[in-house]
Structure 1
Amino acid sequence: MKLKDHVCLMADYNQWMNQKIYEAAGTLPPEKLHENKGAFFSSIFGTLNHICVADTIWLKRFTPALLAHQALNQILDLSCPESLDVLLCENFSELKDRRQLIDEILSDLVSSLSDEELSQAVSYQNTKGVASTKIFFSLLMHVFNHQAHHRGQITTLLSQSGIDVGITDLVFIVPNA
């Protein structure tokens, strides 16, 4: 499988899962979404917000190296979160819109990439100002794995609230050979 095919599959999977998670979470009243469940980011809402924060930060980091890709133009309008727990949106509807925008940007971006671009080095600074240079493909895999990690936490929190998200396995959308 080419690198581009793999990142496109991951973008499709993440968009599919994010839609499922938001659909399930949207059945809860706001007080349940914001209820402190003892999770790392406190609540379902807090964890959903964190994923959007991290994705925004990563897309902002990618932009200087990939300015030729129009998909990233929309990210330029978004402010860069200063911390991993900054509140991006006041309510669930706004957060859902933000998630959809980020997923569209990721899908558009990966569909326009070449394997050569995925193999290029990208330099950035983390939230503490530490400089790094890593291969872009590996950074994208981190973004997708980070989402999956926290969505797993959210599915647990939703399950504790009596909500079954359903099938969550990547293999469900992997095409047959």
Structure 2
Amino acid sequence: METIQSMFKHVHWANQRILETLQNGAVENKQANNLFSHILHAENVWFTRIKGNDSSQLPIWEEVGLDTCVELVKQNNHNFTGFLSNLANSELDQLVSYKNSKGTEFHNSIREILTHVALHGQYHRGQINQLLRIADLEPINVDFITFKR
């Protein structure tokens, strides 16, 4: 449980760093902004699924501005922090039934879903950093080990 809680502290830290970088960019990078909003929407979708609620009407690739991203970062952190603070280690292997965006039903453990959320965001933050570098903007170090240092 300690590792998962640490991963989600890292998720929030990394999201904050990417957000600040996008806000301070010399020019708007629409692709980077869209990838970042996708990370945040996906976090919300997975949280909704973990809570046993229907996520079929939630956006995954909706284009939103950075002001909305600020709110999504806060809300997702609040949701996951609260959820994890009340989650017992014994509940991590509890199965969650959900439908993906195409309506196909799946079953995964809370542990698997939480791991996916952390890894999914890190994958897309890497893509954002590549786009920043292409645009001659300084990428931001969001490595887990940097966070832990």
> TM-score, normalised on structure 1?
0.75
Residues 63-122 of structure 1, C-alpha deviations (whole Å, 9 max, x = no match): 128xxxxxxxxxx9x99425x3223x3x21122221221122112221221111111111
Consecutive unaligned residues of structure 2, counting only runs of 5 or more, are none
The offset of 1:165, in angstroms, is 3.7
Amino acid at match of 2:28: K
Q: Equivalent residue for 1:26?
A: 23
Kindly tell me: are residues 112 and 164 of structure 1, through their superposed partners in 2, closer, same or farther at Cα, counting changes over 3 Å?
farther
1:121 aligns with 2:95: yes
Contact 1:123 1:133 in 2 (8 A): yes
Q: Distance in 2 between matches of 1:20 and 1:162?
A: 18
Q: Equivalent residue for 1:86?
A: 62
Q: Distance in 2 between matches of 1:48 and 1:167?
A: 15
Amino acid at match of 2:88: S
Q: Equivalent residue for 1:7?
A: 4
Alignment of 1:155-166 (within 5 A): 155-166=129-140
Consecutive unaligned residues of structure 1, counting only runs of 5 or more, are 35-42, 66-75
Contact 2:7 2:118 in 1 (8 A): yes
Contact 2:13 2:147 in 1 (8 A): no
Higher Rg of the two aligned structures: 1
User: Secondary structure at the residue paired with 2:40?
Assistant: helix
Q: Equivalent residue for 1:95?
A: 69
Q: Quick one: percent identity of the two aligned structures? A: 23
Q: How many residues align?
A: 149
Alignment of 1:6-155 (within 5 A): 6-28=3-25, 32-34=28-30, 43-64=31-52, 80-82=57-59, 84-87=60-63, 89=64, 91-155=65-129
The offset of 1:32, in angstroms, is 2.1
CA RMSD of aligned residues (A): 2.3
